[in-house]
Chains A and B, each alone.
Chain A
């Protein structure tokens, strides 16, 4: 037992240490790509009417007139001091900009994950249980659609149906324009609850529904398939047959025997899908005009806001490393056969 936990500690520490070179390589790549990418950020800061002198002056203020390697070194120095720089456009600190957008994406991603887990697991399980009926075929089609469909398109369909045709749910944004939430933790839902702003809370939650379904459905495809095949496999296990022979009810067999045993790999899959979810959230946020990390990234790429793009990528990379690390650790604790 103790050898296991010390091994685990070693594993965690080495994984964390590995993040540093990974970040360094990533940052260098992003730095180069952004500069190789055509388009001068100055043209996005200064309007076309502004004269050449303004452009030159802005370029100087941003340090864009310095040699690339000098910009690179000073940027890296900043990063290791924990300073991601300032946005070219808003001049605001990149950390604080991210701090305002990240919680929203975290909220969306969490809800999306729940929807994905719910949809994927319930449909996958039921389809495995009824694999020989029409539902099995239907579910195969459904999960394939979920896996391959354009998020954009699906989000818009939902929007048109539920927000415009039937008007049962809001179409865009995270809060009605007449409401506001006092910022405490940055997570709008939590802040609304803390401040007792029920109206804002209800409105906010209602606004999360369609985006969460969009994102959740997108990710559910994978989970659905995996659950389906795992449950199918589990239902053929000898212990399921033995349980049936004891007269255990089918419902119990399905959930306690087949599903529960299938879930461990599904949980890992959720972790592995984290990156996919981030990319899905970019599109979802665009469709639903949600001011999260995704739309921030899109906007800052469009505007060639180098420090902000770099900052977002750093945060994404950190998030993905942390999440996969956590999943690995959880997995190690759940499954005693894994020795780290």
Chain B
């Protein structure tokens, strides 16, 4: 009796498995999918909430902006606005909008949709304080939009091209604000068809895209817990592309994959790494000490020893690849460092004792080696003794903001590719204090910054920013150290990856054989 039952069950299982395998092999294969693995995926997709690079990046792929930019050159190009003009005094901008564009939910894109989004951003947007210069947005007709500014602002086009993704207004009206966190509808090249938090986001090509439609039909953005599992998944053939935007993959893992013959595309990323000083703390209140440290650090060693060459030495705060970048900081010079320290009254008998704070849980294990290298370099002067202090990620930011550290390692990757994004926050006294507690205060620098932000004259702006970078090298409130590289590691099947120096990744050009 019970034996019969077992026999029947076994039979059913066998039949089931056979049928299953049959169906498995006879069902049509799903369309080619390109999977991109990363240790990070966005946590939401609403442009007004976005402050982080992961969200920005995905939003570029699902939303369009009034104006856009070419990935390689970063030049501004038409987006949902086909053309635009500026009034004589530079405070009124008129945008002529593209016709016949539809959101993924079917809503038509027009001037009131654009106004809706700009207004929404000005009201709620994360970076709205930087957009206070926009005073009014007016719908002239269905496809003409006027934006009024309080004063000329050279970053308007950049802001429009990065902060204000065009979301379907109907979607928000019908489903509410939170809905678009996971179910966005833009006009962009991709629609989000599946959103599994902390796991994957599935994008489907928008067949009705107004511009050249994507060269692939489906993109899956897959999140991995860490470098090791990302690498394992890639080697097991589960993903086609590893995107390591900001040092997500260990240098040794990159080298290993290179040795195994995978394609590796590398370029600058927009992330810079530097030392911050708290000028309110002894001995960093002494410019000579800060300068001496700037002479003593050995960027070549950091780049070669710690990152196996997978980073670039950095001698200014403006990242390479951003216009206006100018090397102003000195290369290593121990004699200079020693004489500065002597000037400041430090000698072998009375060594300068300093502590370098860093957070390896925030920036990865490599951070520990960097700190070690810096310690060795500074101690090579014979006049400094460095204590290293590794701080847990969760407390790091809290503590440096509270002014608890005198010298620490930090990173920066602003969304807007403009020298202002690198210099303003570091050199404007209010920002420098709010963000870094660096207590840096140079009124000349501040006025140069304001000047550069109120003109459309590119040559003038460039001059001003170069001047500012010179001042930085004089004052040394920060010491730029290195700039990260981004890596795309792919199988042979993948081609067409377009690299942008600011580490954003457009998916529509990728092709899979």
Contacts and interface: CB of A to CB of B under 8 A. Distances in A.
Check whether chain A touches chain B (CB < 8 angstroms).
yes
A177 B200 contact: yes
Contacts of B232: 156, 159-160, 163-164, 171-172
Interface in B167-221: 178, 181-182, 194, 196-200, 202, 218, 220
| Contact residues on B (Cβ < 8 Å of other chain), bracket | 35 or more
Given A295-B225, A296-B198, A170 B414 contact: no
B247 to A, nearest CB: 15
A170 B235 CA distance: 10
A89 B238 contact: no
A307 to B, nearest CB: 14
A40 B398 contact: yes
A38 interface: yes
A51 interface: yes
Interface in B467-509: none
B106 interface: no
Interface stretch (B23-31, B94-102, B305-313, B319-327): B23-31
Interface stretch (B67-75, B289-297, B389-397): B389-397
B53 A47 contact: yes
A198 B53 contact: no
Contacts of B398: 38-40, 43
B21 interface: yes
A201 B233 contact: no
B229 A286 contact: yes
Contacts, number: 155
Contacts of B414: 49
Interface in B389-434: 392-395, 397-398, 411-415, 425, 431, 434
A291 B412 contact: no
A34 B66 CA distance: 43
* Interface SS of chain B: mixed
B20 interface: yes
B229 A288 contact: yes
A6 interface: no
A125 B165 CA distance: 64
A295 B200 CA distance: 14
A250 interface: no
Nearest to B43: A89
Contacts of B225: 286-287, 289, 295, 298
A90 B44 contact: yes
A167 interface: yes
* Interface SS of chain A: loop
B138 interface: no
Contact of A156 (B21, B30, B228): B228
Given A177-B200, A180-B194, A288-B229, A199 B235 contact: no
Given A46-B126, A170-B236, A198-B20, A177 B35 contact: yes
Contact of B233 (A51, A171, A180): A171
Contacts of B35: 177-178
A44 B32 CA distance: 36
A100 B53 CA distance: 26
B24 A202 contact: yes
Contacts of A44: 394
Contacts of B228: 156
B330 interface: no
Interface in A144-194: 156, 159-160, 163-164, 167, 170-174, 176-180
A48 B397 contact: yes
A17 interface: no
Interface string B16-58: 0001110110010011110100000001100000011100000
Contacts of A335: none
Nearest to B31: A178
B129 interface: yes
Given A171-B238, A177-B220, A51 B435 contact: yes
A51 B129 contact: yes
14 contacts: A39-B395, A43-B397, A46-B51, A97-B197, A100-B196, A170-B236, A170-B238, A172-B232, A177-B200, A178-B31, A178-B32, A289-B225, A291-B198, A298-B225
